[in-house]
Amino acid sequence: MKKINKISNSLKKNLRKEYYRLDGLKLKNNELKFKAQKLINEIGFCVIDNVITGNLDKYVNEIEKANFKIKANTELFKKLIKKGLSEESLLNHPILEVRKSKFRSRKSKLVNDIFWMPKFSKKLGDKRITDIIKFILDDHVRIGQLHSKIGINQNINSRKNKITNDKFGLPRVKSGDLNSREWHTDWPHDPWAYSKNRSENIGCVKEPFPDLTMGLVVIHYLTDPKDVGGTWVVPASHKSGFSPRHGKISISLPLKNEHQVKAKAGSVFLQDTRLWHSSPVLSNSIAKRVTIVSRWYPWWLELDDYAPDSRFNIVARPLSLKDIKKLPKNLKSYFIHLCFEKKEYINRKLILRTKSFLKKSIKLLR
């Protein structure tokens, strides 16, 4: 296995100074995207401060209520499927919120989580962030996955990691002490690929990974992470070509070059999907951690060709045309690929790019 690159003393000093934090209010969009690109290329991540300003309680409250509704909706879906309801009955159920898949041969799936977050949706498409994403990936990008993440860290000091399996049979660190980690990379660089089950597995890029950013994870902090601790990362690990989930290291122990990201409520954390990272498992204080995790991909990366039988994973959860119309104008294009009723055309900027290359090539033919 290729070892993680050693971090230089100058980089360690810069990390301590939190040089990866960029002010979203002070920097102009053009400057912001160049600085963010440089950081993500160099260390695999950056933080944009002051993206959501003012009182964040309304977003926190909405996400907490959404989380409750999503769980209730999921449980109802399971019960109705178990009862053997037809597809038509499920789709027309007065309470259940499911949508047709964009693949006509597939069965219905839980509605995309953004459906439950109308207030937050107005912040998700912030141009300062989408400009960075498009600058790094391409002008035509899509949101492939989105979910809330609410953690309540209690004053517990377990000396031993407690491991449980999730609903897809994958091992998770449920609790531990302050030195507990759950190192992983994100899809399409996740070797676990969501499941060992053929019907659920969505595949993974073969190791060693090519040195190419294929996706960006975007985390909106809606509470102050300093109360429970920010995301743990291994700076520059995205250049290693491997994931910590390859079965050659312990994914639950601290690593030599790890760094805990500093940020504040209202900030946005961006990372290359190849970066080794972990949420804090526990804290020595009682606090709440409310975030929204979205994963953005370029148009050429197929998001949902596999896991044909899955109805409960978060991958490419669909939306109806009615749902799309309710989204803020600046957000619709990033979700349109999830709607079976709407055609998705290639982005206008890509068309202009084609025309430009075509025009130049024709000149050389004469």
Encoded tokens for 34 = 């160049």
Whole-number Å distance between alpha carbons of 312 and 170: 15
The predicted model scores a pTM of: 0.93
**Region 122-132 average pLDDT:** 98
Looking only at Cα atoms, what is the longest distance across the chain? 75
Q: Tell me the pLDDT tens digit for each residue of 219-228.
A: 999 999 876 6
Q: List all residues 6 or more positions away from 97 whose beta carbon is below 8 Å from its beta carbon.
A: 73, 110, 111, 115
- When pLDDT is cut at 50, 70 and 90, the band that residue 163 belongs to is confident
b (16+ CB within 10 A) / e for 110-129? bbbbbbbbeebbebbbbebb
**Number of C-beta neighbours around residue 208 at 10 A:** 11
Handedness of CA 242, 240, 299, 120 (dihedral sign): positive
Whole-number Å distance between alpha carbons of 140 and 334: 8
* Architecture of the domain defined by 9-365: Sandwich (2.60)
Tell me: pLDDT of 77 over 50: yes
Whole-number Å distance between alpha carbons of 338 and 352: 25
Q: For residue 151, which amino acid is it?
A: G
Return the bridge partners of 99, or none. Answer: 109
Domain boundaries, the chain: 9-365
Q: With contact defined as beta carbons under 8 Å apart, do 226 and 283 qualify? A: no
Tell me: pLDDT of 62 over 80: yes
Q: With contact defined as beta carbons under 8 Å apart, do 141 and 298 qualify? A: yes
**Region 192-196 average pLDDT:** 90
Q: Tell me the pLDDT tens digit for each residue of 304-350.
A: 888 889 999 999 999 999 999 999 999 999 999 999 999 999 999 99
Whole-number Å distance between alpha carbons of 262 and 18: 7
Return the bridge partners of 155, or none. Answer: 283
Q: For residue 125, which amino acid is it?
A: G
Whole-number Å distance between alpha carbons of 25 and 224: 18
Give the residue with greater pLDDT, 171 vs 73.
73
Distance from the first to the final alpha carbon of the chain: 52
- Tell me phi and psi for residue 288, to 5 degrees: -115, 140
Tell me: pLDDT of 282 over 70: no
Radius of gyration, CA atoms only, the chain = 21
Q: With contact defined as beta carbons under 8 Å apart, do 214 and 301 qualify? A: yes
Checking phi first, is residue 138 left (phi over 0); if not, alpha (psi -120 to 50) or beta?
left
Token pair 């994963």: residue: 295
Surface-to-core class of residue 300, CB atoms within 10 Å of its CB (0-12 exposed, 13-18 middle, 19+ buried): exposed
Q: Tell me the pLDDT tens digit for each residue of 284-307.
A: 455 678 999 999 999 999 888 888
- When pLDDT is cut at 50, 70 and 90, the band that residue 155 belongs to is very low
Whole-number Å distance between alpha carbons of 11 and 50: 24
Encoded tokens for 285 = 């204080």
User: Among 166, 151, 150, 168, which Cα is nearest to 66's?
Assistant: 150
| Structure letter (DSSP) for residue 132 | H
